[in-house]
Amino acid sequence: MGLLASLLVPFIYSLSGAFGNTAIRLETFVASGAIYAYGGYPDIDGLLREQAAELDRKRREAMLHRIQQLVHDKAMYAPIWELGFIHAQGPWVAESGLGLITGWAFSAPYEDVKLRGK
């Protein structure tokens, strides 16, 4: 293991559009030995096993929230990628659909685009 690899233990790299609920995504990206995880933490692995066997919905939800908080506290993710969306609009557009949906990088529906009159 090189110097860079030893500095990044445990480190998670994920870029996915995979479907699933919180438990499935945590199992895939956070658990030790998961396909997209390099390293892990025994306390998080233990909570993942416990929540998988828990039948009480509220307790399971609390465990999943705890796991998410631990992932945040341990800074297991580093934001090293940000998608850049290039958009343009011409002088004939009065109000584009860009930014009409808060936090959405794409344009709102074309029906919401307002054109300037002639």
Residue 13 CB partners (closer than 8 Å, separation 6+): 36, 38
Higher pLDDT residue, 88 or 67? 67
pLDDT above 60 (res 109) = yes
Long-range CB contacts (< 8 A, 24+ apart) of 81-88? 81/15
Per-residue pLDDT reduced to its tens digit, 31-71: 998 887 778 899 999 999 999 999 999 999 999 999 999 99
Per-residue pLDDT at 81 exceeds 90: no
Domain assignment of residue 105, given as a range = 83-118
Query: Is 78 domain-assigned?
Result: no
69, 13: one domain? yes
pTM, entire model: 0.56
Q: How many domains does the chain have?
A: 2
Q: Do 69 and 87 belong to one domain?
A: no
Q: What average pLDDT does range 82-92 have in this prediction?
A: 70
